Structure 1
Amino acid sequence: MQADIFCRVVDNYGDIGVCWRLARQLAQDCRWDIRLWVDDLASFARIQPGIDAHAARQELAGVDIVHWSDNPAPALAARDVVIEAFACDPPAAFVDSMRRTHPVWINLEYLSAESWVESCHGLPSQRPDGLVKHFFFPGFTTATGGLLREQNLSAERDALQQSTALQDSFLRSAGVPDDVLAQRRGGARTVSLFCYPSAPAASLATALAADQRPTVLLVPQGVAPALESACQSPGAPRIVRLPFMAQPDFDRVLWCADLNFVRGEDSFVRAAWAARPLVWQIYPQEENVHLEKLDAWLARYPAPESAQALIRAWNQPESGGAAAAVTAALSPAEWTAWAAAARDWDASQSALPGLAENLAAFCAELAKKR
């Protein structure tokens, strides 16, 4: 298949994060010819070394990357498949070329655990101009499109998690000092923190400082900028700031951590594949619609109630309950149950077909009917 993926970077890095993973996997695992159209190359460059933020066109990892403009070159016309990520609408000139070739047209939706997604997944939408757009929903069941997951991911993760030497080598390359690595070897808990500004990060620091087990806190540059001032008390977590890094390295950070605080869609899915306890800060929406989506996922996530209470408190900082919730979830019996639930969640989800695999099969079936 020859496919075009369109991505608008609306906020932060989740949009391009999902699209770049999908593009690479369709190119490498499915052997598709992929063009990835991105409107904000500067944001793209922050999560992928080697991207030229000023190039009109470039190739990386077997993907043809096009700087999205409203007037693409006539040669860049529609081919077999068009994937618009999150209803971003391809440019009008490109849609004109689609009317001539009638490609398979996919609207890749946001991830949701809500039950209605199953009934909408794969549905067509007939346009007045004769084009048909199909809705493709990522999800957590066989009635949805699944989750992005590369081949051999579990084997690579297990190899790293089973080797202290490999973890030390990777973390050292990421800028973690040797004395911090020694703390980890001595039993310190490793927590990674990637959150939105509204997260109660200071409450997390307070709870970790009061815990008997010392903590190493891995935080990307620019995230929770006031965290250092909240970590001045005795026993406070040791903060290590990490640079923005390529997606495979971000995955390895999650694999090295005992507990991962993540945000949005892309890092949430990657934390699930770490098979470690995770706290998800869902993207905030007006009228707290996001909390309904959070509850839909929690109804599927098999973690103990203490962990679920922490996740809810993390997404409702105004409640003031985050610190107590952290303490409760990290108590020995609750932590053991949560760690087991994380492994079970990884096993159940990894037994399902992945999103790229499902999408490729779905497009192939639609192409037969053209």
Structure 2
Amino acid sequence: MEIKSLDIFCEIIDNFGDIGVVYRLAKEFKSIYNEEVNIRVFLNRLDEFLSLNKRAKNIGYQKIDGIEYITNEYLAKNICTFSPANVIIEAFGCNVLEGYLEKAKDDSALLINLEYLSGESWIDEVHLMESPIGAKKLKKYFFMPGFKESTGGVIVDKLFLDRKIKVQNNPQIYYKKYLPDLIDKDYFIGTIFSYEKNFLPLLNVLLKNEKNNCLLVLGEKSQESMRVILKEFNFAEVSNGNFDFENIKIKFMPFLEQEEYEELINLVHYNFVRGEDSFVRALLTGKPFMWHIYLQDEMAHMDKIDGFIERYREVLEEMKLETPLNVHTKLLRDYNLRDNNSLELGKEDFEEFFKEFDNVSKLTHVYSEYIELKCNLIDKLNRFILKY
């Protein structure tokens, strides 16, 4: 089926993950089809989008780089003037305006429910399953992102891959842009983007590694957590948001646009990330990572982390690097073993992770290649639509 127009609906709840995925999805489809396909993104609110893109304005309708961004409120007020696209993506089971949906049942061909990312094995059975909606023309299907070739994959966008190559080939340019004080200095650098977390175990290990360490702390929750922990050390705040203690330098980074964040995580040595979109970006860098998964009731998030670990091990066990693989997967699990987001001291121990860092790097590099080649959601989604 030809894609004549594409509407993407996103309901932002309490973080940047949902809009991050949708924003990336819209940009990538625009890069594929250019002016051939009209792309609209419908949002329940704009606060997070305004942060992700500094050119965005707090208005009901706007067009940026050829993509239309429209609020649900604007759509509701002007519903009589809107014709639904022939292809609709409903991100993460969000609510589509009833008036729009009633029109779509008669005028549109395909509605795709793009679900949350999961490594659990059951998603294979649900992926591309039809979901009846009582319409004669419009058909709805589940599209399940995951870490296996038999799932919907993850967003592997060419825009990110091109940016990755630029940073790798021109690191000095990006050091000058983000870390001018570290140019030509031998620092072991990591990014921290997390929910509430006690970073005491991490700092204790870095103090002993005989390297010059730098942690780039991003996001309000990460920075608030780190500031509490810094009080237990004698970190000197040498300037606003910059702290030094022995062999550790900590920088509180300003909020970065999506493209800037991608540049930064490709520049450093390792990345601690949270949520879904940032996690996939970390995987694609090929660098060692730690994933702080979104907390769920009754610790349901541990099923998801265990699912990812199982998929991760399936790909990498043939490399015969058992010790680093065990170290990395154990730390992933311990890092996420919690029933609430707090500064309570966790079970994680980073010592073996950093001892095995070079071998963990080999694992994450191979895994990034696997994700890029076998789990490209954009390609899978586009092929599904075209074959429909």
TM-based fold match above 0.5 = yes
Aligned length: 352
Q: C-alpha deviations, 1:132-154, integer Å up to 9, x for none?
A: 31001112222112211222644
Q: C-alpha deviations, 1:172-211, integer Å up to 9, x for none?
A: xxxx3x43x14xx4322101000011x2323322322232
Query: Greater CA deviation, 2-11 or 233-242?
Result: 233-242
- Identity among equivalent pairs (%): 27
Alignment of 1:72-111 (within 5 A): 72-73=77-78, 74-111=80-117
Please state whether the residue corresponding to 1:308 is helix, strand or coil.
helix
Query: Residues 101 and 221 of structure 1: is their aligned pair in 2 closer, same or farther, counting only changes over 3 Å?
Result: closer
Query: Is 1:247 the counterpart of 2:258 in the alignment?
Result: yes
Equivalent of 1:60 in 52, 60, 64: 64
Q: Which AA in structure 2 matches 1:22?
A: L
Please state whether the residue corresponding to 1:40 is helix, strand or coil.
coil
Equivalent of 1:289 in 272, 276, 300: 300
Please state whether the residue corresponding to 2:41 is helix, strand or coil.
strand
Contact 1:80 1:103 in 2 (8 A): yes
Shift of 1:311: 1.4
Equivalent of 2:49 in 19, 23, 44: 44
Q: Which AA in structure 2 matches 1:134?
A: Y
Equivalent of 2:216 in 215, 218, 239: 218
Alignment of 1:155-194 (within 5 A): 155-171=162-178, 176=179, 178-179=180-181, 181-182=182-183, 185-194=184-193
Tell me the residue number matched to 2:351: 327
Q: C-alpha deviations, 1:92-150, integer Å up to 9, x for none?
A: 11011112214211100011111111111111011234443100111222211221122
Q: Which AA in structure 2 matches 1:321?
A: K
Contact 2:113 2:143 in 1 (8 A): yes
Query: Residues 309 and 236 of structure 1: is their aligned pair in 2 closer, same or farther, counting only changes over 3 Å?
Result: farther
Equivalent of 1:147 in 139, 143, 154: 154
Query: Is 1:22 the counterpart of 2:29 in the alignment?
Result: no
Please state whether the residue corresponding to 1:192 is helix, strand or coil.
strand
Please state whether the residue corresponding to 1:329 is helix, strand or coil.
helix
Query: Greater CA deviation, 89-98 or 63-72?
Result: 63-72
Quote the Cα distance in structure 2 between the aligned partners of 1:160 and 1:250. Answer: 12
Contact 1:33 1:63 in 2 (8 A): yes
Query: Is 1:337 the counterpart of 2:363 in the alignment?
Result: no
Please state whether the residue corresponding to 1:58 is helix, strand or coil.
strand
Query: Residues 95 and 72 of structure 1: is their aligned pair in 2 closer, same or farther, counting only changes over 3 Å?
Result: farther
Equivalent of 2:372 in 347, 350, 365: 350
Q: Which AA in structure 2 matches 1:249?
A: E
Shift of 1:337: 1.1
Quote the Cα distance in structure 2 between the aligned partners of 1:290 and 1:41. Answer: 28
Tell me the residue number matched to 2:281: 270
Shift of 1:267: 0.1
Tell me the residue number matched to 2:319: none
Please state whether the residue corresponding to 1:106 is helix, strand or coil.
strand
In the superposition, the TM-score normalised over structure 1's length comes to: 0.89
Query: Residues 124 and 229 of structure 1: is their aligned pair in 2 closer, same or farther, counting only changes over 3 Å?
Result: closer
Quote the Cα distance in structure 2 between the aligned partners of 1:7 and 1:328. Answer: 40
Quote the Cα distance in structure 1 between the aligned partners of 2:84 and 2:228. Answer: 52
Quote the Cα distance in structure 1 between the aligned partners of 2:201 and 2:124. Answer: 37
Q: Which AA in structure 2 matches 1:305?
A: N
Quote the Cα distance in structure 1 between the aligned partners of 2:375 and 2:305. Answer: 23
Quote the Cα distance in structure 1 between the aligned partners of 2:13 and 2:139. Answer: 25
Query: Is 1:309 the counterpart of 2:309 in the alignment?
Result: no
Shift of 1:17: 0.2
Shift of 1:236: 5.6
Please state whether the residue corresponding to 1:350 is helix, strand or coil.
helix
Query: Residues 152 and 247 of structure 1: is their aligned pair in 2 closer, same or farther, counting only changes over 3 Å?
Result: closer
Shift of 1:43: 1.2
For structure 1, the residue ranges without an aligned partner over 5 or more in a row are none
Query: Residues 151 and 221 of structure 1: is their aligned pair in 2 closer, same or farther, counting only changes over 3 Å?
Result: closer
Q: Which AA in structure 2 matches 1:132?
A: K
Please state whether the residue corresponding to 1:88 is helix, strand or coil.
coil
Contact 2:26 2:67 in 1 (8 A): yes
Please state whether the residue corresponding to 1:124 is helix, strand or coil.
coil
Shift of 1:241: 1.6
Please state whether the residue corresponding to 1:90 is helix, strand or coil.
coil
